[in-house]
Amino acid sequence: MSKTQAERPSFGTDLPPAGGSAEGVPPLSRAVRRHLGQNLRGHYADSLSAPVSERLEALIAQLDKPGR
C-alpha cells in the first residue's frame, strides 16, 4: 500500500541554504562525500556521454548569446 502525501517524509524542507550548513549539523566527512561523488558519477555517466538533443543545443545556444 502506498503512503499518502501526509504520511510521506518531507525531504528538503529543513535544508540549509546553498553553500551553507545547517546550524548544529556536522558537515559530511570526506569519505562520505567521496562515496556520494563516485556513485553519482556512475549513475549519470551514461547520460553525460549521450548526445545532446537539438532542442537542448538550441537552448544552450540562447544562453551563450550576449545580452541575456
Show the domain range for 54. Answer: 30-64
- Gap between the Cα atoms of 59 and 53, Å rounded: 10
Q: Is residue 47 part of a domain?
A: yes
Q: Is residue 42 part of a domain?
A: yes
- Gap between the Cα atoms of 29 and 26, Å rounded: 9
The per-residue pLDDT for 40 is: 94
pLDDT digit string, tens, across residues 10-66? 555 555 555 556 678 889 999 999 999 999 999 999 888 889 899 999 999 999 888
Instruction: For residue 42, give Cα distances in angstroms to 20, 33, 37, 51.
Output: 26, 14, 8, 17
Q: Is residue 53 part of a domain?
A: yes
Q: How many domains are there within the chain?
A: 1
Q: Is the pTM of this model over 0.85?
A: no
The per-residue pLDDT for 64 is: 86
Q: Is residue 13 part of a domain?
A: no
Which residues does 33 contact at the CB level (< 8 Å), separation at least 6? none
